[in-house]
Amino acid sequence: RIPTEADLKVYLKRWDRKYGLTYKVLDILQTVFYRTDATREAFVEMCSDIDVQKLTFDSYLYKTVVPANPLVQLKITAKTIGSLIRGNALAP
């Protein structure tokens, strides 16, 4: 049978509930890190962190945004802000 508009709305609602947060986080990352060469370099630096790699792997594995230990998240945030500041300071 061909899905109706109502069927599609139900599907999209379920999809958004299940995956919406993941795509929101990806949208925020893209907005913050894909503006300039300096911010892209900060993103590369952030991705070299083992905790970021673990969170990324777990998020892909479980197909959802995996929450981090608050201290780990604080460390990642501080290092990322430092990378952004350093990258923007060194930008031509």
Tokens representing 11 are 């599907």
Tokens representing 61 are 């594995």
Total domains in the fold of the chain: 1
User: What is the value of pTM for the model shown?
Assistant: 0.74
Confidence of residue 92 (pLDDT cuts 50, 70, 90): low
For residues 62-85, b (16+ Cβ closer than 10 Å) or e, as one string?
eeebeebeeeeeeebeebbeebbe
Range of the domain at 40: 5-90
Q: What is the pLDDT of residue 85?
A: 87
